[in-house]
């Protein structure tokens, strides 16, 4: 059963369930379908609500819920083992969605001023639980499953979103409220199809964790803030351009999903290059269009969305690596990652929305965009070069990390990175530590014996060893550090 689950990476329940969650997010927060401000919000002063109130209130409650789930995860694991949590997440999210829908607001009359903010809070609370449950499940199954199913779900979700937008507003809102229960239904169905050993991998128990993934938190905050800044800068635009932006963003999501699949499965790039050489430059390029006049500035949001969505899937592929290497529950890593990226979005969007009120000319806007580009590219330029070679997870490739599943093979990857072995030297190194001789390596890699001999000399020199046994000792020491 487990073999079938691992080999059949893309499975219909997980794709449909995760697609339902993404479609709900896009309908609620990436369209004008639910952005109907009540008198309650109109009466509030300050920069905070120059953004859509639904976005701000729901995102704030989302972040708070994720922080509470971090505490809960430290007390009981996995979160999916809490039987009431999936049902509660579905009910709360659906109820919140209905409370912010136009038909319900009309029915409530004067009470709409209370129902709208309440619904905004409930959508944030429920959606936090839904995404953590999916994240924990995908993280349990590994990076390959997370990438394959995320890509398939996003493409299905894009089609579903476009179809929903063709419906009358009231009908579309009611249907959108059904997506969270549908997502949880497929979640439970998929979970039941997993082997019992896999479902209960982490067990239960009381444990307070000190292994906080600081690197994950830092990069997630940065990317979330970049996305929030882009959204906040766009508050000065309106009218039909919003609809164009929404369609371009969905197209960007689809293209980003295809791109991440190609770069991980075909080119097998590592996490550092996926993040700092592709995602970050794309997000920086989005800011180039912002100072331009309509409708060209809308293109900037799509380019930025392309890079952001690309990184978002990279983030989901990274969680299994960090959970396994840190020896912590999957939900612990997922909650920290989601809380960080959502907090970054909240802070970035509020800050840039307030800043946009101070922008009085195209020159001012150009300076803001130039500053954002400079910061993003600065981080992209130095992040790879300044990171110690023997620490971190950036050199790992999502697909290889899934293939090299046992501690010995992972320690080989770490050792090769520690001593700056080239890709070809790493291949020779792998075969050497597995006991292969020069003749076998020459035939396996289709290179001459002299070339293999040169690679072995370079490996010994870089690692500071003089024999195969000393090299094996290095790998065993690294393996002990990973256990």
| Residues 228, 180 within the same domain | yes
Give the separation between CA 200 and CA 221, rounded to whole angstroms: 31
User: Based on the domain organization, do 16 and 165 belong to the same domain?
Assistant: yes
SS (H, E, C) the chain: CHHHHHHCCCCHHHHHHHHHHHHHHHHHHCCCCCCCCCHHHHCCCCHHHHCCHHHHHHHHHHHHHHHHHHHHHHHCCCHHHCCHHHHHHHHHHHHHHHHCCHHHHHHHHHHHHHHHHHHHHHHHHHHHHHHHHHHHHHHHHCHHHHHHHHHHHHHHHHHHHHHHCCCCHHHHHHHHHHHHHHHHHHHHHHHHHCCHHHHCCCCCCCCCCCCCCHHHHHHHHHHHHHHHHHHHHHHHCCCCHHHHHHHHHHHHHHHHHHHHHHHHHHCCCCHHHHHHHHHHHHHHHHHHCCCCCCCHHHHHHHHHHHHHHHHHHHHHHHHHHHHHHHCCCHHHHHHHHHHHHHHHHHHHHHHHHHHHCCCCCHHHHHHHHHHHHHHHHHHHHHHHHHCCCCCCCCCCCHHHHHHCCCHHHHHHHHHHHHCCCCHHHHHHHHHHHCCCCHHHHHHHHCCCHHHHHHHHHHHHHHHCCCCHHHHHHHHHHHHHHHC
Closest by Cα among 95, 124, 106 to 36: 106
Q: Would 391 be classed as within a structural domain?
A: no
Q: Is residue 207 part of a domain?
A: no
Specify if 394 maps to a domain: no
C-alpha atoms less than 13 angstroms from C-alpha of 292 in its C-beta half-sphere:
13
Residue 448, both tokens: 């001459």
* Cα separation, 303 vs 251, whole angstroms: 10
3-state secondary structure 151-165: HHHHHHHHHHHHHHC
* Confidence at residue 391, expressed as pLDDT on a 0 to 100 scale: 38
Residue 31: per-residue pLDDT: 85
Residue-level pLDDT at 335: 94
Q: Which residues of 380-413 are buried (b: 16+ CB within 10 A; e: fewer)?
A: beebeeeeeeeeebbbbbbbbbbebeebebbbbb
420/343 same-domain check: no
Question: 55 and 102 share a domain?
Answer: yes
Which pair of structure tokens corresponds to residue 168? 């009358």
Domain with 40, as residue range(s), is 2-202+213-386
Taking a C-beta distance cutoff of 8 angstroms, is the pair 474, 463 a contact? Answer: yes
Are 325 and 409 found together in one domain?
no
Is there a domain that residue 398 lies in? Answer: no
Indicate whether 61 and 27 sit together in one domain. Answer: yes
8 Å CB contact between 231 and 352: yes
Q: Would you state the pLDDT for residue 268?
A: 66
Answer yes or no: do 328 and 458 share one domain: no
Q: How many Cβ atoms sit within 10 Å of the Cβ of residue 457?
A: 10
Q: Which CATH number fits the domain that encloses residue 108? A: 1.20.1250.20
Domain membership of residue 392 (yes or no) is: no
Judge if 17 and 107 occupy the same domain.
Answer: yes
pLDDT of residue 185: 97
- What's the pLDDT at 5? 41
**Same domain, yes or no: 290 and 410:** no
> Are residues 380 and 411 both part of a single domain?
no
Residue finishing a domain among 351, 386, 421: 386
Q: Decide which of 344, 359, 386 is a domain's last residue.
A: 386
Residue 414 belongs to a domain with what CATH number? 1.10.10.10
Q: Please check whether residue 208 lies inside any domain of the structure.
A: no
> Looking at the structure, do residues 416 and 380 belong to the same domain, yes or no?
no
Q: What is the pLDDT of residue 330?
A: 87
- Tell me: the pLDDT tens digits for 270-293? 676 777 778 888 888 888 888 887
**Domains in the chain, number:** 2
Is the separation of the CB atoms in 27 and 164 below 8 Å?
yes
Q: Which of 356, 386, 416 corresponds to the end of one domain?
A: 386
Name the average pLDDT for the chain: 80
Distance in angstroms (rounded) separating the CA atoms of residues 24 and 222: 25
Q: How far apart are CA 232 and CA 59, in angstroms?
A: 14
Contact 50, 356 (CB under 8 A): yes
Q: What is the pLDDT along the chain (483 residues), one digit of tens a residue?
A: 334 444 456 688 999 999 999 999 999 998 888 876 444 454 444 444 467 788 999 999 999 999 999 988 887 668 888 889 999 999 999 999 999 988 787 777 777 778 888 999 999 999 999 999 999 999 888 887 888 899 999 999 999 999 999 999 889 999 999 999 999 999 999 988 775 544 444 444 444 455 678 888 988 998 899 899 888 877 545 445 677 778 888 999 998 888 888 887 776 666 767 777 788 888 888 888 888 877 778 888 888 888 888 888 888 888 887 887 667 788 989 999 999 999 999 999 988 887 777 777 777 778 888 888 887 777 766 654 444 333 344 555 665 555 444 566 667 777 776 777 877 888 888 888 888 888 888 887 788 889 999 999 999 998 888 888 888 888 887 666 544
d(CA 91, CA 78): 21
393 lies in some domain: no
Residue 69 corresponds to which tokens in the numbers above? 């789930």
Distance (Å, whole) CA 301 – CA 305: 6
Q: Are residues 196 and 294 in the same domain?
A: yes
C-alpha distance from residue 377 to each of 253, 277, 408 (Å): 22, 10, 36
What pLDDT was estimated at residue 188? 94
């Amino acid at each position: 059963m487990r073999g079938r689950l691992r080999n059949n990476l893309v499975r219909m329940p997980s794709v449909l369930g995760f697609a339902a969650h993404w479609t709900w997010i896009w309908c609620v927060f990436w369209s004008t379908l639910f952005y109907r401000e009540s008198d309650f919000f109109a009466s509030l002063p300050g920069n905070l609500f120059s953004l859509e109130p639904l976005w701000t209130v729901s995102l704030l409650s989302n972040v708070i819920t994720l922080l509470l789930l971090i505490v809960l995860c430290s007390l009981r694991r996995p979160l999916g083992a809490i039987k009431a949590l999936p049902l509660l997440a579905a009910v709360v999210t659906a109820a919140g969605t209905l409370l912010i829908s136009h038909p319900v607001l009309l029915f409530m009359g004067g009470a709409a001023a209370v129902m709208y903010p309440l619904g905004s809070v409930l959508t944030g609370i429920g959606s936090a639980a839904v995404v953590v449950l999916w994240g924990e499940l995908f993280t349990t199954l590994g990076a390959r499953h997370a990438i394959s199913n995320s890509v398939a779900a996003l493409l299905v979700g894009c089609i579903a979103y476009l179809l929903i937008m063709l419906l009358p507003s009231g009908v579309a809102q009611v249907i959108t409220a059904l997506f969270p229960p549908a997502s949880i239904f497929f979640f439970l169905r998929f979970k039941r199809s997993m082997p019992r050993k896999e479902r209960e991998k982490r067990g239960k128990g009381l444990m307070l964790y000190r292994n906080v993934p600081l690197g994950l938190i830092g990069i997630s905050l940065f990317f979330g803030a970049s996305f929030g800044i882009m959204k906040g800068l766009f508050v000065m635009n309106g009218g039909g351009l919003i609809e164009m932006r929404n369609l371009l963003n969905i197209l960007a999501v689809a293209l980003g999903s295809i791109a991440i699949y190609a770069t991980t499965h075909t080119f097998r790039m590592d996490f550092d290059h996926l993040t700092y050489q592709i995602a970050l430059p794309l997000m920086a390029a989005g800011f180039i269009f912002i100072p331009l006049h309509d409708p060209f500035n809308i293109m900037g949001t799509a380019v930025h969305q392309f890079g952001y969505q690309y990184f978002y899937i990279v983030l989901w592929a990274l969680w299994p690596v960090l959970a396994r290497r840190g020896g912590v529950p999957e939900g612990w890593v997922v909650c920290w990652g989601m809380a960080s990226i959502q907090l970054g979005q909240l802070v970035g969007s509020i800050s840039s929305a307030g800043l946009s009120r101070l922008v009085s000319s195209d020159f001012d806007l150009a300076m803001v965009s130039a500053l954002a580009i400079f910061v993003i590219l600065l981080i992209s330029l130095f992040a790879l070069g300044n990171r110690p070679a023997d620490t971190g997870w950036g050199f790992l490739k999502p697909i290889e990390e899934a293939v090299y599943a046992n501690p010995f093979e992972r320690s080989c990857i770490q050792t090769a990175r520690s001593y700056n072995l080239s890709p070809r030297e790493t291949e020779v190194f792998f075969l050497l530590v597995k006991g292969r001789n020069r003749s076998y390596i020459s035939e396996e890699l289709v290179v001459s014996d002299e070339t293999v001999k040169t690679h072995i000399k370079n490996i010994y020199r870089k690692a500071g060893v003089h024999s195969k046994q000393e090299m094996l000792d290095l790998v065993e020491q690294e393996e002990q550090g990973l256990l």
